Amino acid sequence: MLFLRGCTRLRRVAKKGLVYAMKCPICGCNEDKVLDTRPIDDERSIRRRRECLNCQHRFTSYETVERGTLVVCKRDNTREAFDRDKIMNGIKKACQKRPVSDEQMEDIVAGIEADFKNGHRVEVSTVEIGERIMARLRELDDVAYIRFCSVYREFSEADAFIDELNNLKKMKESRFDAEQK
């Protein structure tokens, strides 16, 4: 299903099939012509540059496939809509003052969101989200991983930190050994 804001009616354009007429944001007329069409967001959306035939105002419309909303099931069994900003904020706190770029953090969030949406999931638990974040941070930065892990797993004693650090160290050593062979 295509989601179009301001769409008022369909019209047939020769050799192009059906094209949606958009309501002009200036004069309200729903007669326009498409000047330019190009794919965006890895061809998941279409950007159309339009011109109103009444007032000659140029405006842009975007067409995207509407996907079902992803619902997050929390530990207390409440449910809420998936919010990528919450994930980004947690990752930013973990990566604070670390050599991790905003682009790398955005890639983590986008990757996690895409994993769930491409898997045609309707509901996902906070446990699954947290585990995926930790897996990606573990590959990116050890300190950021430990910071996130300490909050996510609710470390209350120093022994929990030490155990997790030892696990991380063993994992890094086993990877190093595997690469040497």
User: Which tens digits make up the pLDDT trace of 83-136?
Assistant: 989 999 999 999 999 999 999 999 999 999 888 888 778 899 999 999 999 999
The per-residue DSSP string of 127-168 comes to HHHHHHHHHHHHHH-HHHHHHHHHHHTT--SHHHHHHHHHHH
User: Which tens digits make up the pLDDT trace of 44-62?
Assistant: 789 999 999 999 999 998 8
List all residues 6 or more positions away from 26 whose beta carbon is below 8 Å from its beta carbon. 52, 55, 57, 59
- The pTM score is 0.57
Q: What is the mean pLDDT of the chain?
A: 82
Residue 42's pLDDT is 74
User: What whole-number distance in Å separates Cα of residue 153 and Cα of residue 160?
Assistant: 9
Q: Give the β-pairing of 71-73 and 32-40.
A: unpaired
Residue 19's pLDDT is 53
Which pLDDT band, with edges at 50, 70 and 90, does 25 fall under?
very high
User: Which tens digits make up the pLDDT trace of 164-176?
Assistant: 888 888 887 777 6
